[in-house]
Structure 1
């Protein structure tokens, strides 16, 4: 079936092509009655706007872009990204916008995608996640002129509009809670170490471990790099428990690794929380269905995504760049944390 054109609508409506253009684009120049007749005919014929013509006219694309630099196998089971995207969709859908979601396996392909989105006018703006220190994407976004909202600490976003959570304060609360229970040997299983939020959490973890000494005893903190996958959470947990000076409490950078850790500890015959406490991050529904239920540093990821969506609309509507604190993850105590066993 051939595409319905303005000429087709004009012939069926008995008006000029100019009148059809005015009516379809919501411009003055035709009466209300004529406009309604033209719109009714367009609907009957199944007319849809030509995307290329809209782009050439400088109109908006009615879409925003989000690239996820994740292994697709991890994405299938890792709650954060999907909850975040769902939050964005809730905000975008209410205003007739679409989310263009793309998975890129490496930085070069992500940079190429931003260039394509800009040159082909695919999106009105993009969301950039998983920021690095000295992130190459920022220079490319400026070069191609693609508006963007960044998700990350303002210290690494170089003046772009930013939505962030206070990971340093949350980590201080997490370490303080575990130290207060009596734990002196803590471990942290992270996402990849080149991510800026991981570095911020690592620094806060080590600083808090020193600061939260209790009864004259120093809290020791160890860090193990992983990749947010269940397999990495399982292997990191086994390595920590089978090595020297095994920790009595382990903090994980996401829920999926923490859930996998429970399975690894069960396989090793280690009781949770009787012998080892486990603390997750993000607090997805996974934390409620494990045994024991997982304590977590909790924040509303869906609401976080919706907040980013609102900042995207502000950006394209001309709002000046700004840094917006969304939340500070807060401790939610459940059954996976308790005082350590007696020495």
Structure 2
């Protein structure tokens, strides 16, 4: 089971093709909706029934839904093989497919790379592609209008792919993180929902990032210099102060940062991923780094790498975190390719001054 989108009250999670709501107060996990079969023919429904069976999911489990976000009106958008929209008001227990005439079809985003703009309630994501020579597009989804469109395009000479788009509530701004080579690694932003896009900074691996954290005066991120980066590109956590136009190093994390999560009390978490074959001399583990009220980053969890092949899942060692805002001291997570808790969703209590976090296992499979 995977946690995707958290608020102070609960978190949207998925298992296979079903979406669940986890209530933080009651610790109850409630099945809410599923994405429909690829085909509604009787052959398609039988094929889907077999794929959803306990036997198939036990013997040959797949990755399940990898991208889900909640909209301000409590609607949910899923990006999988197609784009799905679920509204508690309009749909029963099955999401609706949003058709798209974008050609070629939009490539999927990287996990954690989807932004929701609270004013327009539109969802934005960028294409994440490897081994290609075409321009990279940004997709806008207006679920209530049932409209999917490409709203911006980056030339292949500018970037390889888009790592993530993030909404900055302190500046009412969308940030775009790109990669991977030095000249492709930059931060872009738009203040008008892609009517225009501006390059903020970039040009080396220190601006190669996936996850950003924002506050009243600045932003923080962990580098994402992976196995294709040079041996001396050891990943750091940076902070940029807007008023002073100054960037500082906060911590050395070694492995690339793949995700970040905020808590309601202003603390935060960054997750690092182990990439086999890397040139950098780093620990063979996925890790969590916690930022307390003193604004210092400290590692609070390390899970040694242990590859466990699963169809459609990367061989990297990782700890999957939800987007959004988690309640103070509690986060849902799913380890991948680790010695313990592989693909099992955990609830982790974390706080300042604790020598070791406490865990409670939550899983339906």
Q: Normalising by structure 1, what TM-score?
A: 0.25
| Higher percent of residues as helix | 1
Structure with more contact order per residue of length (Cα contacts < 8 Å, sep ≥ 6): 1
Q: Normalising by structure 2, what TM-score?
A: 0.24
Q: Which has the larger radius of gyration?
A: 1
